[in-house]
């Protein structure tokens, strides 16, 4: 009934489609044996738990727990542990988003594991939600929750309900005002989109404990005390749509690539290799949003928390002769900056590259006195990106970028890529 009314009045309707325990679900898609086991995924260098299946949560394993502290507990409970495999996750995310885009009028990717869909004018909203869930399970193997309502904030809350109560079948249509009021009265305040751990205690001190309390609070007081963002959240909970669909995220104003080394490095040579790898990745991101880089910052540091080793941290910013997206023209000054801040005798744990002063290609006037771009640079980078996208990252790379560096992150429990490398593709035995 709610869907029919919405279609008749042509009011805005949003859906939030969110993958369940995304990283763990990606592992299960490619390793069916894991579907019968609790699963967790740990962060870079096998540091902390960053994803848990429902079964793992039931065992009391907390999010963010350092892996070394819960290793024995996980082993005793028969929990499967996997190192983060971001190449696999990105590929499955693309498959999920492409499938959703085939089923809805418009899509806005919100993060690697969730997106908004514009369902304005759709009559059978719950039926479409079920269709989305069914297609994603059949074609990709990904379980999702679908929350539908007349504002983005309410759709987010509906998605929470779809995941919390299995009886919903993973789809909640919250377009009817009576159903909205019912859910708002039982939804905790911290389940409202945008209410974080810092803001929630402040609101609770004012007597608010549920989403309903926030929706009914005086709007003028919210704006004066907390600003326009919280006012907008309260209006959305009341059913007033303040956030519309966008075609995509705005281009980034800065791009950073930085990872902890798998072990501490003392010599300059392997740090050069690491920096070349990070510059390559940052330049790929730069080209993907059709931007040019006008300046860079190179950083180098030791581990901050180890009091038994000498500590050192430094960074150097460099303006480029002219804006560029050519990996070679970014790497050369980056390596010179690294050599300038490197000091022997320290155990380095991390280096970074930050691309700044970004501009959109074709939207700026080039300096008449700057060096001319390399002939064929734009075309060459486009070919390199196309090959790496088709054949796998690193197929074509600069000579300074190693294939299997000794300094790479520790990922001792990493699964295969399965979907992005020919030599690791899933095999079926007869």
The DSSP code for 188 is B
d(CA 286, CA 275) in angstroms, rounded, equals 16
Residues 6+ apart with CB under 8 A from 367: 322
d(CA 46, CA 414) in angstroms, rounded, equals 9
Long-range contacts of 177-185 (CB under 8 A, 24+ apart): 177/239, 179/2, 180/149, 180/154, 180/239, 181/212, 183/157, 183/158, 183/211, 184/157, 184/210, 184/211, 184/212, 184/215, 184/237, 185/210, 185/211, 185/212
3-state SS record for 244-301: CCCCCCCCCCCEEEEEEEEEEECCHHHHHHHHHHHHHHHHHHHHHCCEEEEEEEEEEE
102-136, pLDDT tens digit by residue?
999 999 999 999 999 999 999 999 999 999 999 99
Phi, psi of 184 (to 5 degrees): -60, -35
Structural domain boundaries of the chain? 2-18+89-237, 22-85, 255-391
- CATH top-level class of 2-18+89-237: alpha beta
Q: What pLDDT, on the 0 to 100 scale, is given for residue 248?
A: 56
Tens of pLDDT, residue by residue, the chain (430 residues) = 333 333 334 589 999 999 999 999 999 998 989 998 999 999 888 889 999 999 999 999 999 999 989 999 999 999 999 999 988 999 999 999 999 999 999 999 999 999 999 999 999 999 999 999 999 999 999 999 999 999 999 999 999 999 999 999 999 999 999 999 999 999 999 999 989 888 999 999 999 999 999 999 999 999 999 999 999 999 999 999 998 888 556 778 899 998 888 888 999 999 999 999 999 999 999 999 899 999 999 999 998 777 778 899 999 999 998 899 999 999 999 999 999 999 999 999 999 999 999 998 766 655 656 666 788 889 999 999 999 888 877 888 888 888 778 777 677 788 888 877 767 777 766 5
Q: What pLDDT, on the 0 to 100 scale, is given for residue 95?
A: 95
- CATH top-level class of 255-391: alpha beta
Q: Give the three-class secondary structure for 121.
A: coil
Residue 330: name the closest of 375, 383, 277 by CA. 277
- Joined together, the tokens standing for residue 75 give 């082993």
d(CA 46, CA 137) in angstroms, rounded, equals 29
Q: How far is CA 104 from CA 16, 109, 264, 272, in A?
A: 12, 13, 48, 46
114 touches 163 (CB < 8 A): no
149 touches 157 (CB < 8 A): yes
Rounded to 10 degrees, the C-alpha dihedral 234/238/239/242 comes to -20
Question: The dihedral of CA 106, 51, 173, 136: what is its sign?
Answer: positive
Q: What pLDDT, on the 0 to 100 scale, is given for residue 413?
A: 82
d(CA 29, CA 327) in angstroms, rounded, equals 35
Element (H, E) at 315: strand 313-324
pTM for this model (two decimals): 0.75
Phi, psi of 84 (to 5 degrees): -60, 135
Q: What pLDDT, on the 0 to 100 scale, is given for residue 3?
A: 37
Q: Which fold has domain 22-85?
A: MutS, DNA mismatch repair protein, domain I (3.40.1170)
Q: Are strands 14-19 and 144-149 parallel, antiparallel or unpaired?
A: antiparallel
Q: Are strands 114-118 and 106-111 parallel, antiparallel or unpaired?
A: antiparallel
Q: What pLDDT, on the 0 to 100 scale, is given for residue 1?
A: 30
d(CA 125, CA 4) in angstroms, rounded, equals 8
Q: What pLDDT, on the 0 to 100 scale, is given for residue 416?
A: 82
77-96, pLDDT tens digit by residue?
999 999 999 889 999 999 99
């Amino acid at each position: 009934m709610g869907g029919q009314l919405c279609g008749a009045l042509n009011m805005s309707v949003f859906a939030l489609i969110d993958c369940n325990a995304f990283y763990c679900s990606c592992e299960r898609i490619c390793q069916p044996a894991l579907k019968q086991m609790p699963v967790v995924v740990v962060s870079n260098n096998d540091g902390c738990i960053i994803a848990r299946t429902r079964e793992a949560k039931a065992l009391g394993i907390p999010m963010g727990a350092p892996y070394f502290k819960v290793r024995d507990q996980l082993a005793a409970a028969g929990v499967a542990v996997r190192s983060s495999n971001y190449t696999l996750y990105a590929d499955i995310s693309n498959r999920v988003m492409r499938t959703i885009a085939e089923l809805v009028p418009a899509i806005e990717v919100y993060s690697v594991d969730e997106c908004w869909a514009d369902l304005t004018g759709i009559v059978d909203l719950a039926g479409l939600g079920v269709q989305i869930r069914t297609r994603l399970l059949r074609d990709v193997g990904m379980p999702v929750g679908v929350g539908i309502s007349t504002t983005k904030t309410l759709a987010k809350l509906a998605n929470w309900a779809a995941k919390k109560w299995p009886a919903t079948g993973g789809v909640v249509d919250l377009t009817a005002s009576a159903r909205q009021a019912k859910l708002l009265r039982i939804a905790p305040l911290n389940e409202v989109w945008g209410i974080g751990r810092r803001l929630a205690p402040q609101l609770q001190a004012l007597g608010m404990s549920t989403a309903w309390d926030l929706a009914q609070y005086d709007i003028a007081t919210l704006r004066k005390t907390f600003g326009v963002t919280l006012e907008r959240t309260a209006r959305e909970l009341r059913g007033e749509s303040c956030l519309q669909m966008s075609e995509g995220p705005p281009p980034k104003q800065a791009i950073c690539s930085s990872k902890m080394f798998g072990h501490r490095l003392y010599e300059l040579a392997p740090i050069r290799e690491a920096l070349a790898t990070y510059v390559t990745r940052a330049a790929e991101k730069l080209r993907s949003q059709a931007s040019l880089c006008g300046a860079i910052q190179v950083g180098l540091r030791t581990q901050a928390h180890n009091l038994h080793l000498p500590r050192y941290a430094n960074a150097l910013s460099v303006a480029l002769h002219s804006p560029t997206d050519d990996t070679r023209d970014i790497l050369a000054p980056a390596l010179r900056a690294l050599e300038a801040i490197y000091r022997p005798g320290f155990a380095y744990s991390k280096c970074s590259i930050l691309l700044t002063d970004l501009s959109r290609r074709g939207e700026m006037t080039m300096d008449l006195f700057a060096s001319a771009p390399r002939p064929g640079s734009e075309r060459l980078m486009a070919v390199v990106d196309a090959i790496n996208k088709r054949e796998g990252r690193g197929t074509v790379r600069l000579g300074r970028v190693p294939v299997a560096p000794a300094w790479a992150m520790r990922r001792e429990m990493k699964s295969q890529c399965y979907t992005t490398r020919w030599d690791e593709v899933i095999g079926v035995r007869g």
